[in-house]
């Protein structure tokens, strides 16, 4: 899951200060120098120590990186993109058949933000949410039946993604100096939920009036994203934003709030945002790795001692989500 965040969590709580990043604030984009591109990591690097170090460093310094040679076939990624694009090109009434019920407490289903919002701004994005793993969590009521191969492709993608997820969690754990299974177990182990979201940004005649998704960090532990080739994803580093360059078949990995909490602040949840394009359709396929709702998440005990006290309060994931969303200005809720 994802949510706007303009500030960092305070020590000892999950509250926020009053310092905020305005959704339309002009943030300089860095194209030159040492921070012009986010790290790119070869996930098939045979040197496991080097791979672990690269992922740990990127997660500390950036909170975002791209992985190549990840093992998911390029043909499958192309199919994933194809069936997703076909769904959003359907007539509106067909898409509405999968709409999130108005009284639903869950976020699964189709929704649209191609409408006026507060202060005459437009969010300018369609989306659909549904869980793709574990199999028991799938609710096929929210899985499009058209195109006919949508279900098969998404199930295959979920199966292939499991190996990527396990490798990322293992490297992140080892990078903290704990056992390789520690972080994945701390977010649910085999009950970890993969929530797929497809964001569909059609060409926007006035991008300056359509912020897309405002600056935010993800509520999840990790997010793994497939983009199309249209630019529009920005990552914030200090007082600058960096364009996330498109690399064919690469996966974009972002550190979310739960990993920042579990690492007691060593790994950083990245502030990022998405924007529409004036002439082209931008689409992205993030998968949010969410702990089960009742899973209690707090700093790993192995990382906490008298010299390094806990910086975050342990909470059930559902309570963390409710707390954080409740604090935000309701006009900027993202679902």
Active site (catalytic) residues? 197, 216, 218, 272
| 258: three-class secondary structure by DSSP | helix
| 73: three-class secondary structure by DSSP | coil
- Residue 81 is classified by DSSP as H
| 168: three-class secondary structure by DSSP | helix
Can you list the positions of beta strands (E) in 114-176?
126-133
Strand pairing class (222-227; 213-218): unpaired
Picking from 256, 268, 106, the residue whose alpha carbon sits closest to that of residue 187 is 256
Query: Is the CB of residue 281 less than 8 Å from the CB of residue 207?
Result: no
Picking from 97, 98, 80, 141, the residue whose alpha carbon sits closest to that of residue 287 is 80
The secondary structure of 264-307 as a DSSP string is TTSS-PPPEEE---SSS-EEEEEEEEEPPTT-EE---GGG--SS
Look-up of token digits 């969010």: 123
Q: What is the Cα–Cα distance from 156 to 108, expressed in whole angstroms?
A: 20
| 87: three-class secondary structure by DSSP | helix
Q: What is the Cα–Cα distance from 316 to 51, expressed in whole angstroms?
A: 32
Q: Which residues pair with 111 in a beta bridge?
A: 127
Query: Is the CB of residue 304 less than 8 Å from the CB of residue 225?
Result: no
The residue count of the chain comes to 335
| 221: three-class secondary structure by DSSP | coil
């Amino acid at each position: 899951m994802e949510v706007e965040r303009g500030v960092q969590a305070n020590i000892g709580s999950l509250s926020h200060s009053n310092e905020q990043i305005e959704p339309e604030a002009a943030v300089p984009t860095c194209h030159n120098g040492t921070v012009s591109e986010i790290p790119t990591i070869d996930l098939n690097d045979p040197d496991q120590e080097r791979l672990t170090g690269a992922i740990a460093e990127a997660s500390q310094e950036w909170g975002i990186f791209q992985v190549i040679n990840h093992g998911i076939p390029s043909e499958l990624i192309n199919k994933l993109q194809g069936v997703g694009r076909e769904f959003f090109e359907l007539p509106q009434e067909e898409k509405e058949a999968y709409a999130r019920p108005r009284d639903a407490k869950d976020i699964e289903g189709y929704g649209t933000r191609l409408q006026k919002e507060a202060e005459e701004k437009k969010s300018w994005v369609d989306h659909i949410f549904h869980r793709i793993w574990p199999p028991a969590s799938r609710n096929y009521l929210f899985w499009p039946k058209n195109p006919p191969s949508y279900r098969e492709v998404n199930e295959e993608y979920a199966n292939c993604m499991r190996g990527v997820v396990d490798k990322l969690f293992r490297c992140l754990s080892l990078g903290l100096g704990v056992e390789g299974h520690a972080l994945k177990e701390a977010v649910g182990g085999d009950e970890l939920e993969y929530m797929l979201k497809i964001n569909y940004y059609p060409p926007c005649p006035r991008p300056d009036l359509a912020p897309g998704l405002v600056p935010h960090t993800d509520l999840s532990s990790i997010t793994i994203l497939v983009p199309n080739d249209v630019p529009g994803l920005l990552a914030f580093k200090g007082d600058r934003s960096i364009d996330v360059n498109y690399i064919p078949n690469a996966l974009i990995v972002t550190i979310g709030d739960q990993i920042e909490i579990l690492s007691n602040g060593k790994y950083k949840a990245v502030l990022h945002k998405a924007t529409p394009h004036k002439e082209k359709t931008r689409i992205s396929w993030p998968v949010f790795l969410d702990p089960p709702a009742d899973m209690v998440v707090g700093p790993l005990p192995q990382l906490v001692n008298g010299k390094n006290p806990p910086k975050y309060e342990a909470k059930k994931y559902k309570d963390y989500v409710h707390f954080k969303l409740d604090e935000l200005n309701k006009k900027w809720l993202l679902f």
